[in-house]
Each structure stands twice: as structure tokens, then as C-alpha cells.
């Protein structure tokens, strides 16, 4: 259970979501092609992957460069190679849990209904994407299907098949799964934390020389992940890990441009940070 649905040491996702993303991108027809699974697994905004010329050696090389523990690297690679076995295990657990989830449906349904009502009350679709931007997510997709999720109440998942769609000749499809408590959690984060708690969280994000180097580079102009990898001399996987910390703190914003992610400084967040420091420590 922990291996399938928990977050292995250093991974920013769990195996369940990794497997689900594979199926979403490749579909039933192409899912059983190991080379396509590998190509998708090692693709990100910093790498141009030749879909037709990758294999297990490329997967192992990619996994070796990830900022993960050795057992987690092996687990990641093994899940890609033995996809069917892992997916069967996931489905078996989900089948067992379905009855329990249905028992709680009456408790969870009102939250989903409220989220849907709030979205339907928005004046336009652009307003919803503005809300995503508040959470640090900017998308350039022509449209997206949005679903409320009640099991992970404060999480936003974005699934896009844009990379595989280009290669397989399919239409681009984006799905956003939006935790029904995200907006309430955001409001609480802004109003419920003391300045000292907020300062501590920001200092944690800044407590790394490479992350400071990234912020200095972004001061000059917005940069893509590949450019940051060159600036910091880090692997794309390690850069992604650092950007997760900085985006989570609100110091950095993301704009999704096709398969690439463009990072930029959030100047209002820095001003807020300095104001909190002055208020808390200076007379």
C-alpha cells in the first residue's frame, strides 16, 4: 500500500499517479509498448526524447540522475518496466477500497457539489484559470476538463497528453483534478498563519545554495527548466525538485508553455516576505 499510494523517498508523485499518467497519455493501444513508456517517463520540459530510439539503458541512466534514494530509483524504473504487474496490484487494492469509499459517499458528495456550484457561478472559464494562477499554475492549453476530487482535498493534479499527442498524432487533452478544499485552504494559509510561521516556511525554501542561485538567475529574466539546469550545472530532475520547493513557497511562479515550464520570480511574494521580516524583527 505504501509503495503504491505513498510518496517514496524523494519522489514528488506516487506510483499510482505515475501509472495513471502513463495510461492517460498512451491509451490502451500503445500502453504495452515498453519503449514508449520509457520515452514518456524520461520526458520533461528539459529533454527532447527520440521516442523511437530509447530503451531500458536510457531509463536506468535517467533514474540514476534523479535526486532519489537508490531503492526509490529502482522502484521507479521497475514500475515503468513491469507496468502491467504494478497496475494490476493498484487495481486490486482500489477494488477492495471501493466499497468503503461508497459508504462515505454521502459525507463527501456535498463538498464536491459545493465546488461545482462555485465553479458554475464564475463569470467565465478564464476566471477559473486565474484561480489556478493564484496557486502558481499557468496553462496555455486551449481548454481543459475539470473535475472535483474529494479524496485528496487540498491537491491539484494536471494531466496533459501533449507530449505523446504530438508523437502519436492525437488531439491534445488536459484534465484538471481540483481538490474541493483548495480554495478554502489557500484562504486559511493567507489568513491563519502567523508571520513567524510564514517566515520559517520561506527560510526553509531559501536554505539551499542552489536554490539561491536559481533565484538570482530568475532576477534577470524568466527561465525554462533546461536553462536553469545549465545555469546551476544540475540534472533536470534535481532542478525540478528545487523548483517544487520554490514554487510551493510562492517565491516562484510557473507558466506552462506546451511541454515546457517557464519559471519567474513572484515579486509580490518577495515584498510580502521583506515586509514580514521588517514587522517581526525591526523596531
Ranking 33-47, 50-64, 72-86 by mean pLDDT, the lowest is: 33-47
**128 pLDDT more than 70:** yes
The tens digit of pLDDT for each residue in 215-236 reads 999 999 999 887 888 888 887 6
Helices 70-81 and 15-30 cross at an angle (nearest 10°) of 20
Which of 122-136, 184-198, 263-277: highest mean pLDDT? 263-277
Instruction: Provide the pLDDT for residue 114.
Output: 80
Residue 50 C-alpha cell reads as 527520440
The tens digit of pLDDT for each residue in 1-23 reads 555 555 555 555 677 778 888 88
> CA 196, CA 201: separation in Å to the nearest integer?
9
Residues β-bridged to residue 143: none
Domains of the chain: 1-103 (no CATH), 104-191 (no CATH), 193-281 (1.10.10.10)
Residues β-bridged to residue 224: 262
Please give the average per-residue pLDDT across 85-107, as a whole number.
80
Instruction: Provide the pLDDT for residue 217.
Output: 94
> CA 58, CA 65: separation in Å to the nearest integer?
11
Query: What ranges make up the beta strands (E) of the chain?
Result: 145-149, 156-160, 174-179, 223-224, 252-257, 260-265
Task: Look up the pTM and report it.
Answer: 0.60
**51 pLDDT more than 80:** no
Instruction: Provide the pLDDT for residue 46.
Output: 45
Instruction: Provide the pLDDT for residue 50.
Output: 67
Confidence of residue 42 (pLDDT cuts 50, 70, 90): confident
Amino acid at each position: 500500500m505504501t509503495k503504491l499510494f505513498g510518496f517514496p523517498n524523494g519522489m514528488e508523485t506516487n506510483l499510482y499517479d505515475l501509472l495513471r499518467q502513463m495510461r492517460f497519455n498512451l491509451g490502451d493501444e500503445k500502453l504495452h509498448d515498453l519503449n514508449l513508456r520509457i520515452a514518456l517517463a524520461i520526458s520533461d520540459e528539459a529533454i527532447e526524447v527520440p521516442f523511437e530510439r530509447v530503451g531500458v539503458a536510457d531509463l536506468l541512466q535517467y533514474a540514476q540522475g534523479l535526486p532519489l534514494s537508490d531503492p526509490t530509483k529502482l522502484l521507479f524504473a521497475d514500475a515503468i518496466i513491469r507496468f502491467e504487474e504494478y497496475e494490476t496490484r493498484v487495481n486490486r487494492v482500489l477494488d477492495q477500497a471501493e466499497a468503503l469509499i461508497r459508504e462515505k459517499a454521502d459525507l463527501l458528495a456535498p463538498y464536491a457539489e459545493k465546488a461545482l456550484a462555485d465553479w458554475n457561478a464564475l463569470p467565465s472559464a478564464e476566471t477559473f484559470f486565474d484561480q489556478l494562477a493564484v496557486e502558481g499554475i499557468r496553462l496555455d492549453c486551449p481548454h481543459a476538463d475539470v473535475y472535483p476530487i474529494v479524496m485528496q482535498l487540498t491537491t491539484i493534479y494536471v494531466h496533459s497528453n501533449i507530449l505523446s499527442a504530438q508523437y502519436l498524432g492525437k488531439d491534445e487533452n488536459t484534465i484538471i483534478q481540483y481538490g474541493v478544499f483548495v480554495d478554502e485552504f489557500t484562504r486559511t494559509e493567507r489568513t491563519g498563519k502567523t508571520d513567524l510561521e510564514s517566515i520559517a516556511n520561506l527560510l526553509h525554501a531559501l536554505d539551499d545554495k542552489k536554490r539561491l542561485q536559481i533565484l538570482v538567475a530568475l532576477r534577470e529574466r524568466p527561465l525554462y527548466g533546461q536553462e536553469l539546469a545549465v545555469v546551476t550545472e544540475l540534472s533536470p530532475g534535481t532542478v525540478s525538485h528545487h523548483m517544487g520547493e520554490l514554487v510551493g513557497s510562492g517565491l516562484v511562479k510557473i507558466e506552462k508553455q506546451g511541454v515546457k515550464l517557464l519559471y519567474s520570480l513572484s515579486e509580490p511574494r518577495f515584498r510580502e516576505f521583506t515586509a514580514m521580516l521588517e514587522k517581526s524583527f525591526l523596531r
